[in-house]
Amino acid sequence: TQYMASVSIFALIWILLFALAGLYSIKQPSIWSMLGRIILGSTSGIMVVIAFVFFSREFTTSRFVVLAVWGLAMFYVLCGRLLLRMLRSALLGARIGHQSVAIVGNAKAAEDLAALYTAHPRLGLTLVKQAKSWSASLGKELEKLAQKGKLDILLLADPELEKKTALEMISFAEAHHIDFRYLADLFSATFTNVEMSTIGGIPVIDVKRTRLEGWGRIWKRIFDILGSLLLLTLVSPILLITALALMLEDGLPVLFKNERIGERGKSFRLLKLRSMWRKYSIGPQFKGLKKNLKFEEDLIKKQSIKEGPVYKIADDPRVTRIGKFIRRWSIDELPQFLNVLRGDMSLVGPRPHQPREVEKYLPHQRHVLAIKPGITGLAQISGRSDLEFEDEVRLDAWYIENWSPALDLYILLKTPFAVIRRKGAY
């Protein structure tokens, strides 16, 4: 049993080391590059085994076994990778698993790329649209394709195109959650998240919306699950006491479900402790929806303290006595740990907004939809509701482009102090 437990731990460590060596990258490296990564990952893994055997008094093994494991690991991983490459090539050749690409540009490179994609299906790209220039009518046509899930990449292949037009195309790609790529010599890039690649020998730059792709996304999800389970356990007594107090004050239900827009524009039901009187609450579980919505719209016009698409009502008369208390201390947000466990949200990220608010976003503000929304975020520890929405967007955009596990941990540790200060809490 102890031996099997050790082997299981070593297997997880080897997976981590293989990931750090780049063996789980979506983009397919050359054979020699793949071989180098396998040697690096396997050598790092066997060094961990050697260190464990050296410092352990319970396990002993011969040098031959260690060398055999090292050699066999490299051999079998290489064989497995070669088989996967053959399978992938066969599937792409049958046009299975292709990404759809639209090319915009009047340069020769645009024609070369279009011909390349058509002649070589094993590149994994299907040309769905080619245009010589960007226009409003082209934008509408591509929007329909994106809404149907038939457009994955927008490629700009014209070195002479104005930078302003290129930035419009980037905004379009962000708004419709598709990848944007451009030729390496197109214009001097100022983006922090870019990745160079080649397609048929032509250098192409992929503009990344966020670092939260690939393994970054996996690490964040693991962190979210473990963190939510721990924090939900810690705050469960607070949740129980608050739920009982709300029930005594205004009856059931104590949970409020509200539609919000999350990652890539997908809607979900946000969970909160109900802080309003039932007769004023808005949601599928309450009556008088139209009347309550009209009352809320009147309050927004008279008492909203924020400008832009997102509102915040000061001295809201619909809030109960206990509701004011739990809003002030952000206790009403605690059920959102369940949203995190369900995968709708993350512990850290931009705050989610209602569909009617998202509809009023400007194109550049839709960048906040590139990742999962969070319970807390950079904007929440920097002023909460006292910030104008445009300032929130700038902070959230910086977080999205500069994400790291350390940044998440920093924001989580700062959040209790932001709650205690109560700045921007209404």
Domain that holds residue 325: 215-421
Predicted pLDDT at 154: 94
Task: Say if residue 322 is in the same domain as residue 391.
Answer: yes
Domain boundary (207, 235, 269) is at 207
Q: Verify that 236 and 368 share a domain, yes or no.
A: yes
- The reply to whether 229 and 264 lie within a common domain is yes
Count of domains forming the chain: 3
Q: What is the pLDDT of residue 202?
A: 63
Cα distances from 120 to residues 70, 128, 155, 198, 291, in angstroms, run: 38, 15, 17, 14, 59
107 and 58 within one domain: no
Residue 283, domain member (yes or no): yes
pLDDT for position 189: 46
> What are the 10-residue block averages of pLDDT along the chain, 426 residues in total?
76 87 78 88 88 73 81 93 91 90 85 84 90 92 93 87 84 88 59 61 68 82 94 95 95 92 94 91 68 81 78 86 94 97 97 93 89 94 80 91 89 91 64
pLDDT of residue 188: 45
User: What is the pairing mode between strands 153-156 and 179-183?
Assistant: parallel
Same-domain status, 235 and 140: no
The answer to whether residue 426 is domain-embedded is no
Q: Angle CA(362)–CA(366)–CA(367) in degrees, nearest 5?
A: 130
Is residue 268 domain-resident? yes
Determine the pLDDT at residue 115.
Answer: 86
Name the residue among 212, 149, 160 with its Cα closest to residue 182: 160
Output the pLDDT for position 313. Answer: 82
Please tell me whether residues 165 and 23 are part of one structural domain. no
- If asked whether residues 60 and 150 sit together in one domain, one would say no
Domain assignment present for residue 305? The answer is yes
Q: Is there a domain that residue 244 lies in? A: yes
In angstroms, the CA 263 to CA 352 distance is 9
Beta carbons of 355 and 261 less than 8 angstroms apart:
yes
**Do strands 202-207 and 179-183 pair parallel, antiparallel, or not at all (unpaired)?**
antiparallel
Which of 93, 121, 152 marks a domain boundary?
93
Q: Please state, in angstroms and as integers, the Cα–Cα distance from residue 19 to each residue in 30, 64, 213, following that order.
A: 17, 27, 13
Q: Are residues 57 and 181 in the same domain?
A: no
Chain centroid, CA 219 distance in Å: 12
* Sign of the four-CA dihedral 150, 204, 186, 189: positive
Beta sheet of 99-104, edge-to-edge order: 125-131, 99-104, 153-156, 179-183, 202-207, 194-199
Residue that is last in its domain, among 62, 93, 124: 93
pTM of the full structure: 0.70
Give the per-residue pLDDT at 373: 97
Which domain CATH number covers 180?
3.40.50
Is 64 a domain residue? yes
Q: Are residues 156 and 191 in the same domain?
A: yes
For residue 253, whether the previous peptide bond is cis, meaning omega lies within 30 degrees of 0, is: yes
Contact 193, 216 (CB under 8 A): no
Does residue 41 sit within a domain?
A: yes
Domain identity same for 237 and 292:
yes
Residues 225 and 247 occupy one common structural domain: yes
Mapped to the 3 state alphabet, what secondary structure does the chain carry? CHHHHHHHHHHHHHHHHHHHCCCCCCCCCCHHHHHHHHHHHHHHHHHHHHHHHHHCCCCCCCHHHHHHHHHHHHHHHHHHHHHHHHHHHHHHHCCCCCEEEEEECCCHHHHHHHHHHHHCHHHCEEEEEEECCCCHHHHHHHHHHHHCCCCCEEEECCCCCCHHHHHHHHHHHHHCCCEEEEECCCCCCCCCCEEEEEECCEEEEEECCCCCCCHHHHHHHHHHHHHHHHHHHHHHHHHHHHHHHHHHHHCCCCEEEEEEECHHHCEEEEEEECCECHHHCCCCCCCCHHHHHHHHHHHHHHHECCCCCCCCECCCCCECHHHHHHHHCCHHHCCHHHHHHHCCCEEECCCCECHHHHCCCCHHHHHHHHCCCEEECCCHHHCHHHCCHHHHHHHHHHHHHCCCHHHHHHHHHHHHHHHHHCCCCC
Predicted local distance difference test score (pLDDT) of residue 187: 47
How large is the C-alpha radius of gyration of the chain?
A: 26
327/361 same-domain check: yes
174 in Cβ contact with 400 (< 8 Å): no
* Spatial distance between the Cα atoms of 158 and 106, rounded to a whole number of angstroms: 6
- C-alpha 389/C-alpha 333 separation (Å) is 20
